[in-house]
Structure 1
Amino acid sequence: MTDVSPVRRGRPRSVETEDAILESAYRMMAAQGLAATTIDAIARDSGVSKMTIYKWWPSREAVLIDAFLRQASTMLPLSESGDPFMRITKHAAAYAVALNSDFGKVQLAVIAECISRTGSAKIFSERYLGIRRDISLAIIKDGQKDGSIVASEPAGDLYDRIYGTLFYEYVFGFRPLTADYARKLVKSVLSAR
């Protein structure tokens, strides 16, 4: 049997170079805003050529989303083990705190960029929200099975009530978001023991 996988041309993607690009993009979005975070500016700041950036990412939005994703995975990991109710509670509390930092500002900017460029947040949903939502739904379903989550509504509805509320509260500033508020919200939605 012969190997039919395509032969990749050029040098393999360097982890250090990719990190430099994504760190620069995130730092610039947080400090200077979206308008200043151009491919030219990212290339200058990271010391990487524009050609390399365009070779690795199909668009500016893709670079911005990947920079945000990298930060999100560092700041908001979803635990792979433990009590499901506690995992969702810990994550929602961390998300509330993160929204009050540069992370929240960058998340809004990336979503706005996706919407302004494509007319929807579909690319953000596919690359970030959908993946993390699926993981969280599995955690909620596990909790419903083991009894740590009493609420019987579909996992997607429960997830949306928690994270939709946190995002809505953040965007419109109806109340200060705190970890304690997020923990109480999770408890009320999931009807924890």
Structure 2
Amino acid sequence: MVTANGGGDGADSAPRRGRPRSIETSNAILESAYALMASTGLAATTIDAVARHSGVSKMTIYKWWPSREALLIDAFLRHAAQMLPLPPASSGSPAARARRHAAAYAEALQGEFGKVQLAVISECISKTGSAELFYARYLQFRRDALVEMIAAGQNDGSILAEGPAEDLYDAIYGSLFYRYVFGIAPITPTYARNLVDLVLRPKA
């Protein structure tokens, strides 16, 4: 199966000249899937539609993705990785990096990114009864990385909040998503930064 960044099982044993085309084809599929989700909605983003839009055969798409839901999640994952990159350790303290990332997420929720994310999660729930597939293919890696960042801040003393780093992460991003889904209050970058400070209690 080809992963979101274009790699795949057995890729190392394939002729090197085949790699660029494989990556190019994978990216064309993922770009087409996301573009269709954003422009025409999830219902219209069928495998047939993605094949027509990308110029790639349905056989190839089914070979690389086990289901339509997996393809939609990977298309969203690729876009999210470009739009919301995980903050590198060299870009400041853990709390400062958490503020920037949460603020960027809050801003992204206001555009097509938020609508596509919610639609993909809803699709997973309607098809499988849970959002476990979305967590496994998209959220788990990003959550683990940010939890590790928060834990590093607790260890070096720059984050004063106690308790498991996993719970602190969930308190921040769970609150942002909850407010977005139910329209409880406007989600702004400023609100997100203040929420990070409230939850993490960074050392002054």
Deviation of 1:6 (Å): 6.8
User: What number of residue pairs does the alignment pair up?
Assistant: 189
1:109 aligns with 2:115: no
Question: Does 1:188 find its partner at 2:186?
Answer: no
Over residues 28-60 of structure 1, what are the superposed CA-to-partner deviations in whole Å (9 max), with x where a residue is unaligned?
111111000000000001111111111111110
Number of the residue aligned with 1:37: 45
Residue number among 99, 119, 132 corresponding to 1:89 in the alignment: 99
5+ unaligned residues in a row in structure 1: which ranges? none
TM-score, with normalisation over the residues of structure 1? 0.93
> What is the 5 A alignment of 1:60-79?
60-79=68-87
Match for residue 25 of structure 1? Answer: 33
Unaligned stretches of 5+ in structure 2? 1-8
Partner of 1:130: 140
Q: How many Å separate the matches in 1 of 2:135 and 2:176?
A: 17
> After superposition, where does 1:156-175 map in structure 2 within 5 Å?
156-175=166-185
Please report the RMSD computed on the Cα atoms of aligned residues, expressed in angstroms: 1.8
Q: Percent of aligned pairs with the same residue? A: 64
Amino acid at match of 2:81: S
User: Cα deviations across residues 150-175 of structure 1 (Å, max 9, x unaligned)?
Assistant: 10121011101100000001000111
Distance in structure 1 (CA, Å) of the matches to 2:138 and 2:65: 16
Of residues 98, 106, 110, the one that matches 2:108 is 98
TM-score by length of 2: 0.88
1:86, 1:9 → 2: CA distance?
43
Q: Would you identify which runs of 4 or more consecutive aligned residues in structure 1 move more than 2 Å? A: 5-13
1:9 Cα offset (Å): 8.5
Task: Point out the more displaced range, 10-19 or 141-150.
Answer: 10-19
Whichever residue aligns with residue 145 of structure 1, its letter is N
- List per-residue Cα deviations over 1:116-158 (Å, max 9, x = no partner): 1111101101111111111011000000011111101210111
